[in-house]
């Protein structure tokens, strides 16, 4: 099937797209030994319109592996295992670990961690197959987040905002809110932390205050893809909180928020 003028590589998504802290493992059986033949697993897949989303560990027939963040290679290396290949990924907050044949091949700390999303299986157009698939929660904390749209009552806006109610299909509930300089919002939530996510089409600068304490006084938000993190605060007491975000310069786009229990 051709979508948008090209044929995407095969991807299978599993479990709930609100899963946040979890692990995935499987045995990958590759059909060939070329650099074009690959299989892999992934976490936090949240863009169903794309062949790569979230974090992924891919193993290739020529003996190399790649770690991807939203389809971009962040780390790579080589492996020596032949035949059926056991691989595993785990994610907790902003820390991702990858294993091949029970040995950790890499760890990655994401300064701007991706929001929650589904587990994924990846494959090239070959007769690859998977065995012993296991997807389970991480040991610490709740596996789920609560997701809030930018138009929900938990968001209060002040200053100059444009609320786009017919945004793209890649935006959560197809809505976006864009705030100009000196605009502000308050997010009311119950939990231990939160993400605000969006596609940032231009750089901007914001301040973030939670319960009258500044967590960021001058945070730079760079151009990013859809459903990426604008700001992230964790480690709060589990209870009611109010987060205030102010646009210091540029334009801030808000798609929604995820609350960490």
Are 128 and 173 members of one domain? no
Which range of residues forms the domain containing residue 122? 11-137
What contacts 240, CB < 8 A, 6 or more positions away?
188, 189, 190
Q: Mean pLDDT in the chain?
A: 92
Q: For the chain, how many structural domains are there in total? A: 2
Residues 154 and 133 placed together within one structural domain of the fold = no
**pLDDT per residue over 201-219, tens digit each?**
889 999 999 998 999 999 9
Indicate whether 189 and 111 sit together in one domain: no
Specify the CATH number for the domain of residue 47: 2.60.120.560
Domain final position from 137, 157, 175: 137
- Look at residues 137, 171, 191 and tell me which one is the last residue of a structural domain: 137
pLDDT category, 9, cuts 50, 70, 90? confident
- Domain boundary (116, 137, 158) is at 137
| pLDDT of 6 | 66
176 and 115: one domain?
no
Query: How much is the average pLDDT of 235-249?
Result: 97
Q: Which of the four pLDDT bands, split at 50, 70 and 90, describes residue 1?
A: very low
Q: Is residue 185 part of a domain?
A: yes
pTM of the model: 0.90
Q: In percent, how much of the chain has pLDDT > 70?
A: 97
In a domain, residue 2? The reply is: no
**Any domain includes 206:** yes
Q: Are residues 94 and 159 in the same domain?
A: no
Encode pLDDT of 132-164 as tens digits.
999 999 876 678 999 999 999 999 999 999 999
| CATH number of the domain residue 220 falls in | 2.60.120.260
Q: Which pLDDT tens digit goes with each residue over 171-180?
A: 899 999 999 9
């Amino acid at each position: 099937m051709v979508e948008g003028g090209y044929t995407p590589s095969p991807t299978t998504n599993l479990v709930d797209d609100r899963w946040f802290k979890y692990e995935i493992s499987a045995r990958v059986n590759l059909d060939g030994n070329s650099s074009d033949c690959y299989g892999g697993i992934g976490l936090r897949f949240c863009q169903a319109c794309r062949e790569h989303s979230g974090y992924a560990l891919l193993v290739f027939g020529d003996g190399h592996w790649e770690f991807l963040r939203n389809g971009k290679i962040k780390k790579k290396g080589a492996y020596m295992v032949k035949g059926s290949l056991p691989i595993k990924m785990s994610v907790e907050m902003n820390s991702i670990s990858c294993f091949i044949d029970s040995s950790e091949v890499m760890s990655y700390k994401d300064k701007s961690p991706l929001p929650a999303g589904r587990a994924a299986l990846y494959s090239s157009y070959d007769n690859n197959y998977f065995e012993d698939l296991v997807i389970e929660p991480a040991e610490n904390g709740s596996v789920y987040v609560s997701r809030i749209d930018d138009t929900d009552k938990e968001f209060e806006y002040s200053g100059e905002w444009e609320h786009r109610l017919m945004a793209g299909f890649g935006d959560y509930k197809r809505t976006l809110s864009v705030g100009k300089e000196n605009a502000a919002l308050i997010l009311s939530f119950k939990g231990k932390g939160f993400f605000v996510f969006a596609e940032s089409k231009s750089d901007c600068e914001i301040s973030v205050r939670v319960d009258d304490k500044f967590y960021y006084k001058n945070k730079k938000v760079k151009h990013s893809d859809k459903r990426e993190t604008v700001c992230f605060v964790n480690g709060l007491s589990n209870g009611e909180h109010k987060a205030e975000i102010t646009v210091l310069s540029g334009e801030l786009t808000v798609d929604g928020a995820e609350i960490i229990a």
